[in-house]
Structure 1
Amino acid sequence: MQNLPTLVGFSAILMWSALALLTAASGTMPPFQLSAICFLVGSMIGLGAMLRDPRRFSAFRQPAKVWALGLFGLFGYHFLYFTALRNAPAVEAGLIAYLWPLLIVVGSALLPGERLGWHHVVGALMGLAGTALILIRGAEGGFGGGSLIGYGAAGLCALTWSGYSLMSRRFGATPTDVIAGFCVISAVLSLVCHLILETTVWPETMSQWLAVIGLGLGPVGLAFYAWDYGVKKGDIQVLGVASYTAPLLSTLILVLFGHGKASIGIAVACLLITGGAFLAAKDLLRGRKPMKGKLSA
């Protein structure tokens, strides 16, 4: 049954929706330093659970291709995302980077036993339109400034996370415990990048420290475990479209905490995103069992 794993995967999307607010509240810490701390906290979640049953550490006995996948997904995505924000306006870079849900839905047709229906495609396009509306509503006249490096890195962001999610499905027999190892590697590599490229800046207040810890516990921690379980065991097409709720919820949270204003544009985006998600999930909602192929280790 895919319903429960799909809901677990959706919990990751809910946690990612708090990413913008927690990042804004974390102060001025450089991105790679922040990434290193968050990944360290995220690794402790998995390692702590595994200590209760040391036999679970056998999950780390994986072939090199599995570790390469974790490095490609977690560290690769964040490296490209930070590069995009350094070289292009945040709104435009974010719009390009958030093509990954659409790529997951379309790319899922390549998985064994999966079938891409018209409702998945239309739902994904509706979600993309709603996401674009949210991301560009504050932009000043389209693609302004930036460089091809920034826009290119943002495009690679979308390809990286969608590719990681789809490839994780192909490694469905790999236990989710291995995510703890992915976080450890990403923390080390982020630290190396920080020491080479950045100047260390520590949080100045307790609230900033709490925001940093919150990032590591949720959006840059537990969310990865939930997403891994969801894409391996749940309905990856529904999760791909449901991912469009992350920028919507993020915007609503920012408005709630006084970092933005509600508008007609937000309401229209809400209708597009939620409508697209329900359309893509119509088979699941009607109780039909989605086609499911064999997963390879």
Structure 2
Amino acid sequence: MRLRATLVGLSAVLMWSTLGLFGAASGSVPPFLLNGLCFGFSGVAAVIWLAARGRLRLMRQSVGVLAFGTTGLFGFHFFYFTAIRNAPPVDANLINYTWPLLIVVFSALLPGERLKAHHIAGTVIGLLGAALLVAGDKGLDLDPAHLPGYLAAVASALFWSGYSVLSRRLGKVPTEAVASFCLATSALSFLSHALFETTVWPQGAGEWGAVLALAAFPVGLAFFVWDFGVKKGDIQVLGAGAYAAPVLSTLLLIAFGYGAFTLKVTLACALVTLGALVAAKDMIFARSHNRRARPAEAGQHSKGRTPR
């Protein structure tokens, strides 16, 4: 169950890797409006699916649970958008991408979890690979004039890592409740759009198609499978594996003609892959041990049988 849940959770990383591609294809829609549309579409789709399966009651949770989930989803996006508007996007992204590392560190506070050296090592290796791509040739160049943006980026990383780790403490809350979080996040995003942005709607079938693709996967289903993964799977492996998102995103953009495959991309891919393998060492060895043990156990059982 733990391995299956971890793999399900990692599928969110694959979906988040399409953010760059679909986001680029969505045109000039401002961030909060795009957020409102995507979470609105995904929330409504989830409600329809739950109603069809007779599970609609599961999304109705206490005010405290609704506030927690909405704070996590909306808070992360609010502070991330604030960061990239008040600081250079490269710097803001680098600071924001500490959230997988924070997930691994914070997981030590969870009951039954042990933070080991290889978890930290694997996550740091993944961070180096992600930073190599996100920073480009510029690197991190902190300017005190952009302090509000940097603080917002720190807040976005803390919000998402905190949401992910604390979700584990709410293991009895069904994943179906994420539908409520999406709808509430959509409403708050539309409010933020009305307060801070000028309305620019998607133009044509292509841009609306990109918005729907965002709503279906990286700003939709991804949050449901991530919730399942952090509650039931190996949260340290999920944290380290999250660094695959910027690498896979870059590879997708290259595949669709938005960039070139360089030595830097190759090195980043190698570092992220190595980091994930190091962090998942226990899970890999445990599975390998189980495979070796099964034939031996089967042989012992067959020797112990009484001939008829």
The TM-score range, normalised by the shorter chain, is over 0.9
Length-normalised TM-score, structure 1: 0.93
Provide the C-alpha distance between the structure 2 equivalents of 1:137 and 1:81, rounded to a whole number of angstroms. 19
Unmatched tracts of structure 1, length 5 or more: 290-297
What is the one-letter code of the residue matched to 1:23?
G
Q: Which consecutive unaligned segments of at least 5 residues does structure 2 have?
A: 289-308
Question: Contact 1:89–1:145 (CA<8 Å) still a contact in 2?
Answer: no
Q: Deviations over 1:14-68 (max 9, x none)?
A: 00000011111100011111010000111023212211233x2222342222112
Whether the 8 Å contact between 2:254 and 2:260 is mirrored in structure 1 is yes
Amino acid in structure 2 at the alignment position of 1:47: V
The DSSP-based 3-state class of the residue aligned with 2:130 is: helix
> In structure 2, the residue corresponding to 1:115 is in which secondary structure?
coil
Whether 1:208 and 2:236 are equivalent positions in the alignment is no
CA distance in 2, matches of 1:282, 1:167: 24
Cα displacement string for residues 226-268 of structure 1 (whole angstroms, at most 9, x for unaligned residues): 1001100111110000000001101111111121222111111
Does 1:121 find its partner at 2:120? yes
Counting matched residue pairs gives 288
Aligned residue in 1 for 2:52: 52
The answer on 1:274 being equivalent to 2:273 is yes
Q: CA RMSD in A?
A: 1.6
Aligned to 2:249: 250
Higher share in helix? 2
Residue in 2 aligned with 1:165?
164
- The code of the aligned residue for 1:113 comes to G
CA distance in 1, matches of 2:37, 2:257: 27
| Residues 181-220 of structure 1 aligned to structure 2 (within 5 Å) | 181-220=180-219
Residue 73 (structure 2) aligns with: 74
Distance 1:272 1:149, change over 3 A: same
SS of 2:199's partner is: coil
2-structure distance, mates of 1:279, 1:153: 31
**1:133 aligned to 2:104?**
no
- C-alpha separation between the residues in 2 aligned to 1:143 and 1:263? 27
SS across alignment from 2:21: helix
1:197 deviation in Å? 1.6
Q: How far apart in 2 are the matches of 1:141 and 1:64?
A: 40
CA deviation string 1:150-192 (max 9, x = no partner): 1110111111100000010100010001000001101111111
CA contact (8 A) 1:73 1:164 kept: yes
Which amino acid in 2 is paired with 1:52?
A: A
Equivalent AA in structure 2 for residue 229 of structure 1:
F
* Worse overlay, 145-154 or 37-46: 145-154
CA distance in 2, matches of 1:138, 1:203: 32
Whose Rg is larger?
2
The percentage of counterpart residues that share the same residue type is: 51
Deviation for aligned residue 1:145:
8.4
Residues 17 and 145 (structure 1), Cα distance of their counterparts in 2 relative to 1, 3 Å cut: farther
